[in-house]
Amino acid sequence: MNKIPVWFDTDIGVDDAVALLVACRLEELEIVGVSAVAGNTPLPNAFRNARDVLALAGRKEIKVYPGADRPLVKELFTAEYVHGSNGLGGAEIPLSDAPIEETKAWDALYEKAKEYSGELVVCAVGPLTNIATAIFKHPDIIEHIKVLNIMGGAADGGNITPCAEFNIYVDPHAAENVMKSGIPVNLFGLDVTHKAFLDDDDIDEIVSYGNAASKLFKDSNGLLYAARERLDWSGLCEHDSCPVIYTAHPDWFVGQECGIYVETQGKLTIGKTVTDLWTDFKFEDRHCHIFLDVDRTRFAGLIKDIYRTY
């Protein structure tokens, strides 16, 4: 089987860790690089967590590159209330002993995009600062990246504000530049990620495996368990696993073509992904797809099947 080359850009927090552990064991994918960006947690944590989660997955040969330690314009806004002070909900895992990469994320991504020109799929599951910086510094990268599979935004609603989803809210200027770049975008916003959850039985099963990955799952999701009780969620939404699992199983998701732009000025609406999904007025440039539904049973089943192998 020809594996799909994937670059994983992450602000590795709790659900990012699930997505990376899943990506490492999806036989359809080859993870050719990982980059860290500030978001859920400051960059040093994100960089360390990405390295350590890869080591836990037995994949410390996959290189992790440091990216942006703050958004393009706004001050950094992090999410310790969900991801804890270390980015993994307080869970402790062994430190990786892989060599420390010093090449910047945007430069490493550019080189890899040229190496896999026309084939590279980028799964971006944090603020889009690294991706925007790569496009700004290396404009011809848009000729080499096949598609950006992005966890972020929402056609309807938000989580960090009534209008904005966290990844886009943290760096709306980067998101605006990425949406306008012309690189094809598959957007996995809250519309679909709120349906991509693990329910109580799924959670209990993953924890019951008792391996290192399931221990990390158990130990890192404490704050999310509490939030779930408080906000009466259906389960634990695995936001960042959506673009990863879509890359291997696109038929499990339902999406629509649309134009997507990002609000960067509004006092109440900054970070909103504005789509022409439900309006008579359609944007002229509609090079994006936004996803609205997922086969949750197959999605959750795959995550369980993969966690069982660790």
Question: Judged by CB under 6 A, which of 9, 240, 263, 276 binds ligand RIB?
Answer: 240
Nearest to 106 by CA among 133, 69, 124, 129: 133
Tell me whether residue 194 is one of the annotated catalytic residues. no
- Would you say 238 or 240 has its CB closer to Ca ion? 240
Question: Judged by CB under 6 A, which of 167, 177, 220, 275 binds ligand RIB?
Answer: 167
The one of ligand RIB, Ca ion, none whose footprint includes residue 191, by CB under 5 to 8 A per kind, is none
- Would you say 33 or 89 has its CB closer to ligand RIB? 89
Query: Is the separation of the CB atoms in 141 and 125 below 8 Å?
Result: no
150 near Ca ion, rule: CB under 5 A: no
239 near ligand RIB, rule: CB under 6 A: yes
Residue 27 beta carbon to Ca ion: minimum distance, rounded to whole angstroms: 24
What are the phi and psi torsion angles at 291 (to 5°)?
A: -105, 140
Query: Is the separation of the CB atoms in 105 and 66 below 8 Å?
Result: yes
Kind plus residue range of the DSSP H or E element containing 298: helix 296-308
Of 28-36, 134-142, 159-167, 296-304, the segment contacting ligand RIB by CB under 6 A is: 159-167
Nearest to 14 by CA among 95, 71, 81: 81
Beta pairing partners, 185: 148, 288
Can you say how many angstroms the Cα of residue 16 is from the centroid of all Cα atoms in its chain? 6
Q: Taking the CB of residue 94, how many other CB atoms lie within 10 A of it?
A: 9
Residue 67 beta carbon to ligand RIB: minimum distance, rounded to whole angstroms: 14
Write out the binding residues for Ca ion, residues 205-264 only, by CB under 5 A: 240
The runs of H, that is alpha helices, within the chain are: 14-25, 43-56, 80-83, 105-115, 129-137, 166-170, 172-180, 190-193, 200-208, 212-220, 222-231, 241-248, 296-308
Residue 178 beta carbon to ligand RIB: minimum distance, rounded to whole angstroms: 15
Q: CA-CA distances (angstroms) from residue 255 to 126, 158, 165, 252, 274?
A: 21, 18, 18, 10, 16
Query: Is the separation of the CB atoms in 96 and 12 below 8 Å?
Result: no
Return the ∠ at Cα 286 (arms to 282 and 289), rounded to 5°: 115
The one of ligand RIB, Ca ion, none whose footprint includes residue 166, by CB under 5 to 8 A per kind, is ligand RIB
126 near ligand RIB, rule: CB under 6 A: yes
- Would you say 11 or 191 has its CB closer to Ca ion? 11
Q: Which of 239, 249, 287, 289 is catalytic?
A: 239
Residue 91 beta carbon to ligand RIB: minimum distance, rounded to whole angstroms: 15
Binding-site string for Ca ion from residue 101 to residue 130, where x marks contact by CB under 5 A and - marks none:
------------------------xx----
DSSP 8-state secondary structure symbol assigned to residue 194: T
Of 13-21, 65-73, 278-286, 302-310, the segment contacting ligand RIB by CB under 6 A is: 13-21
DSSP 8-state secondary structure symbol assigned to residue 101: P
16 near ligand RIB, rule: CB under 6 A: yes
The one of Ca ion, ligand RIB, none whose footprint includes residue 29, by CB under 5 to 8 A per kind, is none
What are the phi and psi torsion angles at 70 (to 5°)?
A: -165, 160
* Residues forming the active site: 239
Question: What residues line the site for Ca ion (CB under 5 A)?
Answer: 11, 16, 125-126, 240
Question: What residues line the site for ligand RIB (CB under 6 A)?
Answer: 11, 13, 15-16, 39-40, 125-126, 151, 159, 165-167, 239-240
